[in-house]
Structure 1
Amino acid sequence: MANGYDVVIIGGGLAGMTAGIFAARHGLRTGLVERMMGGAQIINIEKIENFPGFPQGISGAELAPATQEQAMDAGVEFIMAEAGPISRDGDYKVVSTDAGEFRARAVIVAAGSTLRQLGIPGEEEMFGRGVSQCATCDGPLYGGQVVGVVGGGDSAADEAVTLAEYADRVLLFHRRDQMRAQKTIQDQVHANRKIEVVWNTVVQEVLGEDTVSGVRVQNVVTNLENVVDLTGLFVYVGLEPNSALVKDLVKLDNAGHIPVNLSMETEVPGLYAVGDIRQNSSSQLVSVAGDGATAAVAAYNYLRSSGR
């Protein structure tokens, strides 16, 4: 069968590549659709400190290619393409991409999420001209300058610490009076003299003409507004699951995540969802890798029981 696989995996992050390793090692012909190099967003993580086996930490730029190499050695075929909607043709699932259609009786969706934007005036216009969502990529551009970070979770705190390696001052704007980040990451933020957490504050507008010159902020307790001068703004305010490709097959939850059972299987037999695209994911790297392994083994058992 042209472009036919036992299992097709959509997404080349840690969840998808782990699924690929386990599927291929179970003897399944495995195709993995990913529009970029393997690793997805983890490539931009400067230091991962909570992944088992690396007590001194490991960068995403090290972990991602190592995992991809392991997947390729196991027999995973990487398909450089942009995945589109998934449809059904009898017992088969058909994955449409900009490189053609790929058919399999089992599909594992590991398409991940996209960083959410603030949706405020000036943000879109200034994206790439001072507004960013990658401190590892763009941090070196802000040596000796004042930058802002928006958010209160792990990503925002981590990126603030990364930016402090370059910028003279980092303002971390958070709409609440306490952060959601892990305590160890919060401790790094509070211990860094370059980082100032601006509590109970939302960013309302990005200012500037050719490049970012500042932001208009509001204190949510006092309602007072003021302008803060800075040259870069890094936004980490949550994730939007990339689940549109299955919206015609499964019912999504209110946040757009894909409901699954303990085997990572959706309401459609042979269709699985792993990583932070699925409902109730912790979004921690070690758990999304576990999702991938679980789904791959479940897919193998599904194919074996259905007489592939």
Structure 2
Amino acid sequence: MRDVVIVGGGPAGLGAGIYSSRALLDTVIIEKGAVGGQILTTSLIENYPGVEATDGFTLITKMKSQAEEFGCEILSSEIKKLKLEDNGTKALILGDDSTIKCKALIIASGRRPNSLNVPGEKELTGHGISYCATCDGAFFRGKEVAVIGGGNSALEEALFLTKFVEKVYIIHRRQGLRAAKIVVERCKKNEKIEFVLDTVVESFNGKGSLESLTLKNKVTGKVWEKPLTGAFMYVGWLPNSEPFKDVVFTDEKGYIVADRNMHTNVEGIYAAGDIRVSTLKQVCTATGDGAVAATSAEDYLGTFQMQ
């Protein structure tokens, strides 16, 4: 029986792990992928207070080390299901069908990239289609590529790609962009970036690897084929809440509902970071969520009674 189990090893999970283990609670973080989550795909972080411009890997490495210094254990496993026992214990079924039990649970499982679900996308993912410019950008040195999306992630990674590629086409389905004004202006000033707005991807084409995109202008109806060997996808997110939906409340999109103290509808279960319903999803807000969730869990454990 652990005091606190944290699902997810991103900024929210590590923030919770630091606070929980520092409070001398028996704490374990369970992460099915690489510790850090989505932040690992971020090439530039310049708005985390007290830290000069850095990349996601560098920042998350420091967070991980700090959590481990306080005694937080990190376990690699997926979560299949969450079950509640009559005495208030939370039981997590792991990927190998084993069970880990805890008194308090912090869900910081984050979110994953959405897909367009158009012809060719699934088949060519990993063969020209990527969801991580930081990971794969260097493979397209000297080539022309597309970035699909109009938010901060799309435009920030487009800027990163200009270090390697000859040209970046930012393809967005609307005329307006959702990214911060400062990021939009940086893209507009970069000679390697060209905007293709009011445009959607109809299909990804190629035999074995990406060769072109079929595009359609939503205003004029024009359809054309654009020869490109690389496409980077930033078209929204899906919450990683599937194992918990039978236990905690979620909104219509699947994000977990939690109050300002990170309490869910179940006593002793908390949600932190990108997985919870919130208006701003940033590294600094995620770590703050984690700190609040861990503090709430500590308060709860003070009154926890095994029945």
User: What is the TM-score of this pair, normalised by structure 2?
Assistant: 0.97
Secondary structure, aligned partner of 2:121? coil
Q: Which residue does the alignment assign to 1:151? A: 149
Structure 2 residues not aligned, in runs of 5+: none
1:197 alignment partner in structure 2: 195
- C-alpha separation in 2, matches of 1:40 and 1:235: 16
Q: Deviations over 1:89-123 (max 9, x none)?
A: 12100011125211111100011111000100000
How far apart are residue 178 of structure 1 and its match?
Answer: 1.5
Counterpart mapping for 1:55-74 below 5 A: 55=52, 57-74=53-70
Letter matched to residue 64 of structure 1: I
Question: Paired residue for 1:167?
Answer: 165
CA contact (8 A) 2:42 2:56 kept: yes
Amino acid at match of 1:191: K
List, as ranges, runs of 4+ consecutive aligned residues in structure 1 with deviation greater than 4 Å: none
User: Does the 8 A contact of 1:131 with 1:232 survive in 2?
Assistant: yes
Look up the match of 1:9.
6
Q: What TM-score results when the alignment is normalised by the length of structure 1?
A: 0.96
- Return the alpha-carbon distance in structure 2 between the equivalents of residues 111 and 210 of structure 1: 33
Moved more, 211-220 or 40-49: 40-49
CA RMSD across the alignment: 1.1
Q: Distance in 2 between matches of 1:49 and 1:204?
A: 35
| One-letter amino acid of the structure 2 residue matched with residue 234 of structure 1 | F
Shift in Å at residue 162 of structure 1? 1.1
Provide the residue aligned with 2:128 in structure 1: 130
Distance 1:290 1:307 in 2: 28
Helix, strand or coil at the partner of 1:289 = helix
What one-letter code is carried by the residue in structure 2 that aligns with 1:61? Answer: F
Offset of 1:281 from its aligned partner?
Answer: 4.5
1-structure distance, mates of 2:51, 2:188: 24
1:307 shift after superposition = 4.6
Cα distance in structure 1, aligned partners of 2:208 and 2:128:
9
User: Is 1:97 the counterpart of 2:94 in the alignment?
Assistant: yes
Q: 1:184 offset after TM fit, Å?
A: 1.7
Q: How has the CA–CA distance of structure 1 residues 37 and 213 changed in structure 2, closer, same or farther, with 3 Å as cutoff?
A: closer
Q: In the aligned structure 2, how far is the partner of 1:37 from the partner of 1:126?
A: 23
Conservation of the 8 A alpha-carbon contact between 1:275 and 1:281: no
Aligned in 2, Cα 1:253/1:113: closer, same or farther, shift over 3 Å? same
The count of corresponding residues between Structure 1 and Structure 2 is 304
Segments of structure 1 that go 5 or more residues without pairing to the other structure are: none
- What secondary structure does 1:305 align onto? coil
Q: Indicate the percent of aligned positions where both proteins have the same amino acid.
A: 38
Aligned position for 2:75: 79
CA distance in 1, matches of 2:249, 2:238: 16
Residue 239 (structure 1) aligned with residue 237 (structure 2): yes
**Aligned twin of 1:26:** 23
Match status 1:218 vs 2:230:
no
Q: SS of the counterpart of 2:74? A: strand
Match of 1:265, SS state, is coil
